[in-house]
Each structure stands twice: as structure tokens, then as C-alpha cells.
Amino acid sequence: MFRRKPAIEIKSPDQLAVMRQAGLVVARTLAAISEAATPGNTTGSLDELARDVLSDHGATSSFLHYRPHGAIPYPAVICASVNDEVVHGIPGDRVLADGDLLSVDFGAVVDGWHGDAAVSILVGRASAEIAELSRTTEASMWAGLAAARAGNHLTDISHAVEQAIGGRYGVVEEYGGHGIGSRMHMDPHILNYGPPGRGPVLEPGMALAIEPMATLGSAEVMVLADGWTVSTADGSWASHWEHTVAVTEDGPWVLTSLADVRL
Ligand code: MF3
Ligand code: CO
């Protein structure tokens, strides 16, 4: 077998500037959702809030009707994954409770260019154990983002993420990060674990979504009967964080944060 070299889309500076606009819509939406995710609110109400922010900005959803090969078209604009749900939870009637760990994932399109990010939100008063899981998962995302540097190999990101988790939690292997730009999911796939120094060399103009998922127990996951929701096999709680980052001459540029972050 010959291994096909993944063709990674290279964006011009102007195209990255549009991706930054999409990323800002994502950042503002996730900020609004983080405020609204209080005990008593439903995950469906957060999806409605996200739809409002999209239309306020004249942007569209990356997720709505998204249909990977063979899957049911995705029915919402956010993913809302609660507690033992890891990713791709479908928002609806579920009422958030004090102490829940809610991961919200959101993607927006501006002029054909995508931004994709996720946060884990502590609903009400979280236990110290859950707060630490979320804090460590977020830190592992930042370690991965900092490795999105021209001249590095792709799996330097994977390795940085895994090192930052430090063996303390289960690292989900079935899902990972991805290239992003004129489509939400593009080459390359980005593992959240593994040895450094492998895969393509990163170049200015590449854009990557880096999204670690960590669990308090085993890393095994399963897809629920709705065809989308991914939960842990052992019922342990999970955290998911994601940013879209551009590789630039001047280092990693985080496209989906509210502040203009260059690492
Ligand atoms: N950030 C998620 C991912 O890359 C987006 C899920 S797309 C959805 O997997 F349509 F499934 F929601
Ligand atoms: Co993503």
C-alpha cells in the first residue's frame, strides 16, 4: 500500500482573515452560551441562542444538516454533551442541573470559511474533580495549539496534547482534531496521542482544529441510538475543548478566541 500524502489546504492571508471573522462569531456564541448554561435551562435553549447569534452576524452553521458518510443529518447548530456524553450530543429537552459538566461545540461559516471550537462549562457548582478534569483538558488543548508551528510535524501537536494530560485521564482515541477551512472537516486527522515527529510538516497558511477529549475513567466510547451522541462506555464524565488555529510565519494564531491570541 502506498500511503497518500494528505493534501492540506493552504490559505492566503486574506482567507485567514475571513476565517478569523468566522472564528469571532464562534467565540461570541460560546461566550453567550457559557453565560446562559445555568441550572434549569435546557440544552435546546442554548441551541436557539446560538441560532440568534449566527443570524445577528449574517453567518451560517457548520453543523446543521452536516452529514458524514452514512450518518443521519445533524439536526442542530450546537453539540451539547452532558456529563458522560463526550461529543456530538444533540441539544433538546434536557434540563441542566447543578454540578453538570456541559461541553458545547459550535461551528460557523462566513463567506464560505469555517471556524470550529468547543468549551466545557461547569454548570452551577462543580466538584473539584470535575473542575480539574476540565482545566487539564483545556490545558492540553493549549499545549497542542502552541505546537501548531511552521516546521513542526503534525504529531508534535498530538504528543503535546497527550503529555499535557499526563496519563491522569482517559484520552479518547476514536475522535480527534482536523484540518479546517473551506470545509469543516478536512485533511489531516489529528490524533490526541502518540509519538512526536511524524506526519506532514506544518506550513504557514494551514488551519487546524485541535480538540482533545479526556475522561475520568476508561477512554472507551460508544455511539448512542440517536446516531450521533458519543458517550463513555463506563459512564465516567468527559471534557472536550477545541480551538481552530492558523499556522503563520509568526507562530500559531488562535482564530476562535475572543481575544486575538498569537502563541
Ligand atoms: N467539532 C466537532 C468535530 O469536529 C464538530 C461536530 S460536527 C456535527 O467533530 F455536525 F457533528 F455536529
Ligand atoms: Co472540530
Q: What pLDDT does 1 receive?
A: 52
How deeply is 166 buried, as exposed, middle or buried, from its count of CB atoms within 10 A (0-12, 13-18, 19+)? Answer: exposed
The SS3 of residue 86 is: strand
Q: Which of 88, 174, 245 to mutate to test the pocket of ligand 1 (most atoms within 8 A of CB)?
A: 88
Ligand 2 centroid, distance to 163 Cα (angstroms): 21
CATH 3.90.230.10 fits 13-262, yes or no: yes
Residue 21: all three cell numbers together? 471573522
Ligand 1 pocket, residue 162 CB under 6 Å: no
Ligand 1 pocket, residue 241 CB under 6 Å: no
| Domain boundaries, given as residue ranges, for the chain | 13-262
Predicted model pTM: 0.97
Locate the ligand 1 atom nearest the alpha carbon of residue 178 and give its number.
4
Ligand 2 centroid, distance to 208 Cα (angstroms): 9
Give dist(CA 58, CA 123) in Å, integer: 30
> 11 and 207 in contact (C-beta within 8 Å)?
yes
Mean residue pLDDT across the chain:
97
pLDDT tens sequence across 180-230: 999 999 999 999 999 999 999 999 999 999 999 999 999 999 999 999 999
pLDDT tens sequence across 116-168: 999 999 999 999 999 999 999 999 999 999 999 999 999 999 999 999 999 99
Give the whole-number percent of the chain exceeding pLDDT 70: 98
pLDDT over 90 (residue 70): no
Ligand 1 pocket, residue 85 CB under 6 Å: no
Q: What is the largest CA-CA distance in the chain?
A: 54
Query: Residue 5 — very low, low, confident or very high, per pLDDT cuts 50/70/90?
Result: low
Q: Which ligand is nearest to the CA of 226?
A: 1
Q: What pLDDT does 2 receive?
A: 60
Query: Residue 69 — very low, low, confident or very high, per pLDDT cuts 50/70/90?
Result: confident
pLDDT (average), residues 11-19 = 98
Ligand 2 centroid, distance to 211 Cα (angstroms): 6
